[in-house]
A and B are shown apart, each in its own frame.
Chain A
Amino acid sequence: MYETKYHKASSVADAVSLIGKSDDGKLLSGGQTLVPTMKARLAAPSDLVDVSGIADMHGVSISGSTVTIGAATTHADVAGNADLQAKCGGVACLAAGIGDPAVRHKGTIGGSIANNDPAADYPAAMLALGATIKTNAREIAADDFFVGMFETALEDDEVIVSVSFDAPAKAAYAKFPNPASRYAMVGVFAAQTADGARVAVTGAGSDGVYRQSDMEAALDGDWSPDVLSGVQVGSEGLLSDIHGDATYRANLVKVMARRAVAGCA
């Protein structure tokens, strides 16, 4: 690891100020991606601004039908939240399946979506739920937030504070883990929202998480796993790597979508 300067931010404003003053700083939340990357000497931020201690950025709160999750809330806290399990079990279940226990007790939802790894789980949930990502400066719709592989709409030095979404009527996530990394080789989050069916796919797209509009249209007509059998999923725009080619991923998109819909509560 290269030398770096560590700062512990006391508030969102403090974090914004610290990161603004740094040369080439990075926000540190759970550090489950950033720290291993730094240890492999693949990242060399001049400063690390740790947001994990900011109280305002922690916890799950539910008000009416609106669910709000602080950006520094760990996967374990999301997975274990009983209110969320009742209101939107799909998200709690997704969080329970991220990485391993060590990752889940350190990694956070804000860190995950800010990194927008094309094989991360949370981006699929945020996109399928039509979530709103709240930063220190503004609110961004999930549809606008996830721009491409490892790319988001976040400006430099912008800090995610929380995410919120309306609890869907039904939602579930089905993941096919990569045999080596156990990241999503394909993950599909299906949600029956007030705006209709939304289906988001992670792991498969060569440009990161995306919505599967053909499936959404089919599910709008008939919310059932079987209706998805009629949807053609092409391999265009899908990833090919040593673990599986685009044709295989296209098949998995369909299989995982069926399983997500079947698993919907």
Chain B
Amino acid sequence: MTEGIGARVLRKEDKRFLMGKGRYTDDIVEPNQAYAAFVRSPYAHAEVKSIDASAAEGMDGVVAVLNGEQLTGDGIGNIICGWAVTQKDGSGMNMGAWSALATNKVRYVGDAVAVVIADSIEQARNAAEAVEVDYKILPAVAQSVDALASGAPEIHENAPGNVVFDWEIGELAPTDAALEGAAHITEMEITNNRLAPNPMEPRSAIATFNAAEDHYTLYTTSQNPHVARLVLSAFYQVAPEHKLRVIAPDVGGGFGSKIYIYPEEITCLWASMKTNRSVKWTSDRTEAFLTDAHGRDHVSTAKIGFDKDHKIVGLKVNTKANLGAYMSLFSSAVPTYLYATLLSGQYNISNIYCDVQAVYTNTVPVDAYRGAGRPEACYLLERIMETAARELGVSPAELRRKNFVTSFPHETPVIMTYDSGDFATNQEQAMTAADFDGFEARRAEAASRGKLRGIGFSNYIEACGIAPSAAVGSLGAGVGLWESAEVRVNPVGTIEVLTGSHSHGQGHETTFTQVVAERFGLPTENIQIVHGDTDKVQFGMGTYGSRSGAVGMSAIFKALDKVEAKAKKIAAHVLEASEDDIVIEGGEVKVAGTDKTMGWHEVGLAAYTGHNLPEGMEPGLKETSFYDPTNFTFPAGCYICEVEVDPDTGVTDIIQFVASDDFGTIINPMIVEGQVHGGIAQGIGQAMLENVVYDDDAQQLSASYMDYAMPRADDLPNYSVHHASTECPGNPLGMKGCGEAGAIGSPPAVINAITDAIGNNDLSMPATPSKVWAALQAASAKQAAE
């Protein structure tokens, strides 16, 4: 079986991409389409006193200029956060109103107040500039810590002190007591820098209202078209669910930013109804910086205690999470259930307490971005572990090993139950691949050339496939987190798989096909994966949180079980054998131990002709599954980064980056390696390059590639990627998920390596040359003073 599970099958989807024949939302042209241009606030915080569109309305090609009063007047609902977090005191979170077009107040630079619909994009943009908005500028605040200070500007009336919620997990008193009795305490302030997602394809939408049928069609850049349809209909009342078709065609990267339903999609649908035209909007790169949900932005203090044998006795963390100006769709879950629940890391820790203040600021809304909460947890824990090892004067590898969880299932004090893993093996594999024992010799050799070498670890664990639905529901999720699949065997034996997962770079058309090919021994060319269209696919929760393998493929697996069972019944009937003796392999359906056989396609034909089926059996061969997992999955691993710093300039070269991951079962090693490479690239981007910077007026100073440093090929090393897997007991394929691990695990490894090289632990991300150089100056000044 060369194309089944474990094979390096080349990506089926690449043919159309490499031929330039991908079909993205902006490629779609509807007859009579018009273009939307948004009038956006240039101020971070202001009252909207009046909007004068008279000049714009008279300009060439302008179809309509629409504003928030009209939008809310038509009954379009506010944008909501779909995960209700309960505060420490038992009260609900303080969610401020968010209208797709702001009415009386704007709360961040880029907040839309009106939209121009015109015949061409240039006409729309020209007219948008001619819309006169009278703003009364208000004081603004960009940083969470400043927004919490007394006297800070109030952003939402119903969120006093700008607190969205004040939440906690774990037990405070036992944690304090454990830390009280610790032999050694390590304390740190740790900032997780704000990132802009930057998918290659910017967001785009084209909405068409069909007045004759009262029906809406929306093509959009979505990671989860069914969720978009549900939210657009149930919460925003843009169109009823059965009268709205959402299609997410080829999507060029998401990284989380395309999970959410943004003002622009809502406005395009509504504007299409208002104008009776198809309405298209495609973000430009500046708009993307100004409006795509950002990621991270945590400011934390952490305290970890060890006993005299260097066993961890307790961990206490406080985090201020910047949620931006409004609560995006899953924003509340990211700094709570996707973050603090991972603070136990790979370690046996009896006492953990974490409280989180989520804060409104006059910035772009913050939501899940590749890793979503787990990178923040991993960065905090792995930096403080490395720091503790240095303070205790022990090997960072040994300190970690001493504290590893070694038996499963393992219940942490922060509500996770780890189901499997072998952390020591991952660490050993990484250390061997990195030639850790030879490091001191390499450091000395680098020193002879005037360079500073450092090495850093990161032992990450994360949680994928958020589940089961009942559990996440009890934690406040507004949706279930299962996945669906439908397997259709055609009369000629070819197979279509309709999946609720959505591929926007992950290669589902390849890996999902492999699972089907493996089951029936069919060539992959006989299998087609269908996704991304609410009129075709039954329902689905979409792709994020590395869930498409563990949850999406499990649903396919379960549907395949049903297809296989029915196919065997048909074959047993036709071949006059017992069902138990039927085996399916190599595209043949056989009676074991005999020469009786029929082709897979003959089973399909038998099912659809219905000429000779078992008594009472319905014709057809098509099965559906809705799969709800029993637990999260827990990918884990060990990353080692080795760097060389030029003390003259602060420039850091990554000499090697080694990964040993435990992803459970691997369907296609090539695709998994690609995910790890991309994830590490994003992690290195966060650690060394990327940063969203706001000035004191909450204006973004980094809203273009002139100032926002994306990682480029020459910033990155060749990765050394390895696997040491334990099977996940929670799903039929034993998979854990690999989409985010690289981005989660890599930043602390990089920073631990740089701080090791320069001998100064006071370094924040991104560790740019100027920061590294300044930290070196500070270290030598301190040394001189001593």
Contact = CB atoms under 8 A, between A and B. Distances in A.
Interface of A: 1-3, 40-41, 176, 179-181, 183, 242-245, 247-248, 251-252, 255
A1 B121 CA distance: 10
Nearest to B708: A180
Contacts of A251: 648-649, 773
Contacts of B689: 179-180
B126 A179 contact: no
B770 A245 contact: yes
B706 interface: yes
19 contacts: A3-B122, A40-B286, A41-B129, A176-B769, A179-B689, A180-B702, A180-B709, A180-B710, A242-B691, A242-B707, A243-B707, A243-B768, A244-B770, A247-B774, A248-B770, A251-B649, A251-B773, A252-B649, A255-B649
B770 A243 contact: yes
Contacts of A2: 126
Contacts of A183: 706
Nearest to B710: A180
Interface in B5-49: none
A179 B650 CA distance: 12
Interface of B: 122, 125-126, 129, 286, 648-650, 689, 691, 693, 701-702, 705-710, 768-770, 773-774
Given A2-B126, A41-B125, A242-B693, A179 B709 contact: yes
A119 to B, nearest CB: 10
Contacts of B707: 180-181, 242-243
Nearest to B774: A248
Please name the 4 residue pairs, one residue from A and one from B, whose CB atoms are nearest each other, closest first.
A244-B770, A180-B709, A248-B770, A179-B709
Nearest to A249: B770
Contacts of A242: 691, 693, 701-702, 707
B125 A181 contact: no
Contacts of B691: 242
A184 to B, nearest CB: 13
Given A41-B129, A255-B649, 18 more contacts: A1-B122, A2-B126, A3-B122, A40-B286, A176-B649, A179-B769, A181-B707, A242-B693, A242-B702, A242-B707, A243-B770, A244-B768, A245-B770, A247-B774, A248-B650, A248-B773, A248-B774, A251-B648
Contacts of B648: 251, 255
A252 B770 CA distance: 10
A180 B706 contact: yes
A242 B648 CA distance: 20
Among B125, B648, B705, B708, residue most surrounded by chain A Cβ atoms (within 10 Å): B648
Nearest to B129: A41
A248 B122 CA distance: 43
A229 to B, nearest CB: 11
A181 B649 contact: no
A2 B123 CA distance: 10
Contacts of A248: 650, 770, 773-774
A29 B774 CA distance: 40
Contacts of A176: 649, 769
Nearest to B702: A242
Among B122, B691, B707, residue most surrounded by chain A Cβ atoms (within 10 Å): B707
Contacts of B701: 242
Nearest to A181: B706
B122 A179 contact: no
B96 to A, nearest CB: 29
Nearest to B712: A182
Contacts of B769: 176, 179, 244
A176 B773 CA distance: 14
B616 to A, nearest CB: 67
Among B701, B770, B773, B774, residue most surrounded by chain A Cβ atoms (within 10 Å): B770
A183 B706 CA distance: 9
Nearest to B706: A181
Contacts of B126: 2
A180 B126 CA distance: 30
Contacts of A245: 770
A255 B646 CA distance: 11
Contacts of A3: 122
A210 B769 CA distance: 24
Contacts of B710: 180
Nearest to A3: B122
Nearest to B126: A2
A243 to B, nearest CB: 6
B216 to A, nearest CB: 32
Given A243-B770, A252-B649, A180 B705 contact: yes
B250 to A, nearest CB: 25
Nearest to B648: A255
B534 to A, nearest CB: 35
Nearest to A245: B770
A180 B705 CA distance: 6
Nearest to B691: A242
Contacts of B286: 40
Nearest to B711: A179
Contacts of A252: 649
Nearest to B286: A40
A176 B693 CA distance: 22
Given A41-B125, A255-B648, A179 B773 contact: no
A161 B96 CA distance: 60
A180 B685 CA distance: 11
A225 to B, nearest CB: 12
A1 B125 CA distance: 9
Nearest to B695: A242
A97 to B, nearest CB: 13
B449 to A, nearest CB: 15
A247 B774 CA distance: 9
A1 B123 CA distance: 10
Nearest to A183: B706
B705 A179 contact: no
Contacts of A41: 125, 129
A35 B673 CA distance: 39
A181 B705 contact: yes
B263 to A, nearest CB: 21
A3 B60 CA distance: 13
A176 B648 CA distance: 12
Contacts of A247: 774
A257 B17 CA distance: 46
A244 B777 CA distance: 14
A1 B129 CA distance: 13
A256 to B, nearest CB: 9
Contacts of A181: 705-707
A210 B774 CA distance: 25
A183 B701 CA distance: 17
A226 to B, nearest CB: 14
Contacts of B649: 176, 251-252, 255
Among A180, A247, A252, residue most surrounded by chain B Cβ atoms (within 10 Å): A180
A204 to B, nearest CB: 13
A2 B128 CA distance: 13
B650 to A, nearest CB: 8
Nearest to A247: B774
Nearest to A176: B649
A252 B769 CA distance: 11
Given A248-B773, A251-B773, A255-B648, A179 B125 contact: no
A255 B129 CA distance: 46
Contacts of A244: 768-770
A108 to B, nearest CB: 21
A1 B120 CA distance: 12
A69 B699 CA distance: 42
A255 B709 CA distance: 23
A2 B693 CA distance: 29
Nearest to A100: B712
Contacts of B705: 180-181
Nearest to A251: B773
A251 B769 CA distance: 12
Among B649, B689, B691, B708, residue most surrounded by chain A Cβ atoms (within 10 Å): B649
A179 B771 CA distance: 12
Contacts of B650: 248
